[in-house]
Amino acid sequence: MFRVDATSPSRRAFLRQLTAASAGLACGPLLLRAGESPAARLRVGVMGLSRGMAHVEAFLSLPNVEVTWLCDAAEQRVRPAQERVEARSGKPARVTADVRRILDDQEVDVLAIAAPNHWHAPATILACAAGKHVFVEKPGSHNLQEAAWIVEAARKYRRQVQLGTQRRSWPGVREMIERLHGGVVGPVRFARCWYSATRGSIGRGQPAPIPPGLDYLQWQSPAPDRPYLDNVVHYNWHWRWHWGGGELANNDVHALDLVCWGLGVSHPTRVVYNGGRYHFDDDQETPDTGVATFDFGPCGASWDHSSCLPRREENLPFVAFYGDGGCVTNRGGGYQIHDLQGKQIESGTGPGGDREHFENFVDAIRNGTPLHAEIGEGQKAARLCHLGNIAYRTGRTLQVDPATGAIRDDAAAMKLVGRDYRQGWTPRV
């Protein structure tokens, strides 16, 4: 067990954790718990019932899987989920606002986490220690320190931990990566990603009474207490560093996951973020517009986002890979291949959704099928997001050790590697 003070992280301890997590990427399929049968009924608890409703639907669609617990700090989200579980399965699910009640239930096999980012790693680590397999939404960690801890926990407790980057299970995307790795456009030198949206202002939050039915203490744990404001819960926490990671950790993790997969890269050597908050004078702390650039040595990547202006006239793909012989682009569940003259020479498509990703997770638990988004692989993209955010917040280029992913010789950046926790909630592996 160990503890790192997030206000002054120990570089030596952090390097040990990064090295252990990176070394663990080569591990084979994890083991079932003693006494588990590959055909046994899996009992699942779902935490966070906004995005988590998709988890409920996906698990209920799979054979011999039962949703036995529902967890949310907001009472109004629990009731519809209860009704859905009972309508689909004919059995009621138990409910709680405290995830630890689920972890105490010895009959639970799986915890599915769709709570806000500040919950991802602490809940996953607790679940692994309790002997549960975990499906955790992206990004899986709030910061670089947690990205190391969460992988270490999966390795130590030998649990199957799948990240919710569902494109990894989409047939068309998997075919695209296979074609890319097969050399369809030759050596790939660079990848570019784009994201745009029409997000409005969140205004200035005002102190207000906690709404009836919201257990704000449970919503905040394990983050240190902040007074309730009327513009944070349930979505705008994304744009506050205390709970979220901005657009990088919200949507970019999906794109950069494809970049890591397609380029076959792990740690960058250099990270730059140019951009800022340009659209609204409000409580948002994270940038609404900008470009993050990652140098991996023999290749590189960039991510360009415009969160408050849609740029529809550009009609850009989600991700593009540039090789010596042409370009491979991804849109939704399909892909296109163009030669150097811009002529489309090949394309492919396939369905996109959640079920395949959850099915792969269940198959991994039951028979050791390799996970499509095993947490060690998934945290490669999460680390890029965290590094991009640190580059933005410090306002300078980060130099990174390509062997370990540790930031080089930058005391100010190292202060942002971890975070403080509410008393008693510091993750321990």
Q: Where residue 134 sits, what CATH number does that domain have?
A: 3.40.50.720
Q: Looking at the domain assignment, is residue 128 inside a domain?
A: yes
Q: Looking at the domain assignment, is residue 325 inside a domain?
A: no
Query: Per-residue confidence at 227, pLDDT binned at 50, 70, 90?
Result: very high
Q: Looking at the domain assignment, is residue 162 inside a domain?
A: yes
Q: Each residue of 18-30: pLDDT tens digit?
A: 555 544 443 434 4
Q: Looking at the domain assignment, is residue 322 inside a domain?
A: no
Q: What is the 3-state secondary structure (H, E, C) of 40-97?
A: CCEEEEEECCCCHHHHHHHHHCCCCEEEEEEECCEHHHHHHHHHHHHHHHCCCCEEEC
Q: Looking at the domain assignment, is residue 101 inside a domain?
A: yes
- Distance separating alpha carbons of residues 387 and 396, to the nearest angstrom: 11
- Give the pLDDT of residue 414: 97
Q: Looking at the domain assignment, is residue 208 inside a domain?
A: no
Total domains present in the chain: 1
Residue 9 has pLDDT above 50, yes or no: no
Strand order in the sheet with 334-338: 344-348, 334-338, 326-331, 319-323, 188-196, 300-306, 289-295, 270-276, 398-399
17: containing domain: 11-168+355-374
Q: Looking at the domain assignment, is residue 138 inside a domain?
A: yes
Which two structure tokens, joined as six digits, stand for 188?
Answer: 């790939």
Q: Each residue of 333-382: pLDDT tens digit?
A: 999 999 999 999 999 999 999 999 999 999 999 999 999 999 999 999 99
Q: Looking at the domain assignment, is residue 146 inside a domain?
A: yes
